[in-house]
Amino acid sequence: MTTLALSWFDRKIMLPGRLPLFVFLCSFIFAFAVIRFSVRMIRAQVRWWPGNVKPGGLHIHHMVFGMVFMLVSGVWLIAVREPSVEAEATLAGIFGVGAALVLDEFALILHLRDVYWEEAGRTSVDAVFVAVALVGLLLLGFRPIGVIDWSDYSRDPTVGNALLLVAYAVVELGLALVTLLKGKVWTGLVGLFVLPLLLVGAIRLSRPNAPWARWRYGNRPKRLARATRREEKWRTPVITAKIRVQEFLSGRHDLPDRRGR
């Protein structure tokens, strides 16, 4: 088993030059796990656990440290000419830690207020899950806008070939846009790597509260009713299961919305 694992690692990670991406993903997941453990300990008011960073009474959110890590590692990587694989992997690891700290407070950035333990705070966990999934696909060798092999153009740099590749990209991005407008975020993002998902997402009914439904189903009550029934039958149980997984990993987002106070 160990030999097989090493063989897989060499073939899929080392030989294609994906070690920095692998280190990024590992450090991202590790940093997210650590920071979520930390904030849960703080919320539980565990006496021996260090609390929030509050110099002079100012609460410094951990996304600030994340941005510093991302800036330092990013600028360092840009400034160093032809860095070694080891240097790239190290900087990718630092960047992964920073990215995890920032995305863990993505909801705060989105709403411009502290919604960490409110219902809206689930957006941060969703963002982290999406990031892990997309980076994982890249690590496995999937390519965004996967139907296109851009190396074809380098082998045949003609205007016709360029137009064909651009047409493929426009079609795939158009399908992704329709899918996202229908409220199918996961299908739209992962579909950029797996084209059949985009075809299914673009053809099937929109979610009832999505922009597409508001624009297209306003005068089509039967279609809106079908979308609502499908949401209740299939989507709601999936969302419930996802929330349970989120709460197990990241804690309960159960504080009331402070805007309603």
pLDDT for 155: 66
Q: Please indicate, yes or no, if residue 107 is contained in any of the structural domains.
A: yes
Contact 74, 95 (CB under 8 A): yes
Q: Please indicate, yes or no, if residue 49 is contained in any of the structural domains.
A: yes
Q: Please indicate, yes or no, if residue 224 is contained in any of the structural domains.
A: no
- Indicate the number of domains in the chain: 1
Provide the domain limits for residue 18. Answer: 1-141
Q: Please indicate, yes or no, if residue 83 is contained in any of the structural domains.
A: yes
Tell me the two tokens of residue 120.
Answer: 């809206």
Positive or negative, the CA dihedral 20, 24, 25, 30 is: positive
For residue range 144-186, list pLDDT tens digits in order.
Answer: 775 555 555 566 667 777 777 788 888 888 999 999 999 999 8
CB atoms within 10 A of CB 123: 18
pLDDT for 148: 56
Q: Please indicate, yes or no, if residue 234 is contained in any of the structural domains.
A: no
pLDDT for 70: 96
pLDDT for 242: 87
Q: Say how far apart CA 191 and CA 204 lie, in whole Å.
A: 14
| Alpha-carbon torsion, ordered 126, 138, 207, 110, to 10 deg | 40
pTM score: 0.84
Q: Mean pLDDT by 10-residue block, N- to C-terminus, for the chain (261 residues)?
A: 69 85 96 95 90 85 95 90 86 96 95 90 93 91 68 65 79 92 92 88 92 90 91 88 88 78 48
pLDDT for 175: 93
C-alpha 200, offset from chain centre: 21
Q: Please indicate, yes or no, if residue 27 is contained in any of the structural domains.
A: yes
Q: Please indicate, yes or no, if residue 131 is contained in any of the structural domains.
A: yes
Taking Cα atoms as reference points, which of 18, 29, 24 lies closest to residue 95? 24
CB atoms within 10 A of CB 101: 24
Q: Please indicate, yes or no, if residue 85 is contained in any of the structural domains.
A: yes
